[in-house]
Structure 1
């Protein structure tokens, strides 16, 4: 049963006003903070691709993760968070389109950071209107923000380059299954466990951001519908 929030125009405007500072925060993080971090990492001898990968995971956690946790606290509906996620997706797709990527966190061979924004906003919207519970709705976003970042950071520390290896998936499960339990009990823990396995799947241009959100959203949606 879909639960469409009833909001007034005034409430919608209020949500938009709350979203704008978060959007500015993300832009500042992406355009300035991570650029300086990239320069710092390069100055310490890290390879370009390693510094870029670390930056992407930092952005995952500091933008996608933190903002996802704020969504249930700040917003009364899922439309505005999804809209701004799509707006951000467009903003970071344009450098790819013009072939002038922001080299400290983007790569020419994929647009996975665009997938991240779309998956983040869509999953929150779908689960919010399905369950009516914004805390459950942010689980897929948390999985691709904190969970996927943990896998990448662990693998990069262990191997020194981007690779798919079970050590990252185990780290993701250790971190995310308890978080899933806190927000949605055994269902959330199960969803995060499966997401930790699905994270290994990547078929360019579809990446683990898409597969993780699809898996977590589908598991929660199916169990929710079966228990109505």
Structure 2
């Protein structure tokens, strides 16, 4: 099969998985928790399931397997999903089981996923990684899986969306473990720490921050600078 056709097929399969997670698994998750918790809590659980099983798993698969030669197709995938999640907000026809009319952070998630899977590939190439996608995947795993665990812990403890250090501790433990499992060493652990600390910051000078933006930026920058300095 021609490489371009192979990449398109891989993209279609990954997008199909993401849609299955969003439309089926997340809705099942919402229905389960909606019977036991408030609507907002059920939405939050569903969103974190999407974070982990869609954003996190797909980033990991792209990093570990030769699905794409360049970041072009994954970048387009991320932007398509950003449009897919933005349209319901624009039309008012929300996918009620995971979309909140008060924020569009899931759109930010898709955009940042697209940006950092791309930036990470270039950084990985520069730093000599055999699998350059791996470099960008780590900050995305912090954003998707690490922050996903943060939300689940806080939801379980407080039954509402709230910033609390219990979630940040859980995020650091999971994120550092992922960094070590992927052989990032000290630079990975310190970038996990940066991600876990910045996630706690919700407001800056009166401006509300989205951790889907701050987490990948802080962790990517930390990881990149440390490795440029020779700290691995």
TM-score by length of 2: 0.89
Correspondences of 1:13-162 after superposition (within 5 Å): 13-43=5-35, 45-72=36-63, 73=65, 74-132=67-125, 133-162=132-161
Q: Which runs of 5+ in 2 are unaligned?
A: 126-131
Instruction: Tell me the alpha carbon deviations over residues 159-194 of structure 1, each in whole angstroms, 9 at most, x when there is no partner.
Output: 111100000000111111121123211111110111
Mapped pair 1:223 → 2:217: no
CA contact (8 A) 2:201 2:209 kept: no
Instruction: Tell me the alpha carbon deviations over residues 79-130 of structure 1, each in whole angstroms, 9 at most, x when there is no partner.
Output: 2111101100110100001111111100011110011111112111101112
- The 3-state SS of whatever aligns with 2:163 is coil
CA contact (8 A) 1:124 1:138 kept: yes
Q: Aligned partners of 1:226 and 1:131: how far apart in 2? A: 15
Q: Aligned partners of 1:224 and 1:77: how far apart in 2? A: 22
Q: Which runs of 5+ in 1 are unaligned?
A: 1-8
TM-score by length of 1: 0.90
Q: Aligned partners of 1:199 and 1:40: how far apart in 2? A: 27
Q: Aligned partners of 2:18 and 2:220: how far apart in 1? A: 24
The structure whose RCO (Cα within 8 Å, separation 6+) is larger is 1
Identify the residue that residue 129 of structure 2 maps to in structure 1: none
RMSD over equivalenced CA pairs, Å: 1.8
Identify the residue that residue 217 of structure 2 maps to in structure 1: 214
Q: Aligned partners of 2:70 and 2:52: how far apart in 1? A: 23
Q: Aligned partners of 2:208 and 2:190: how far apart in 1? A: 27
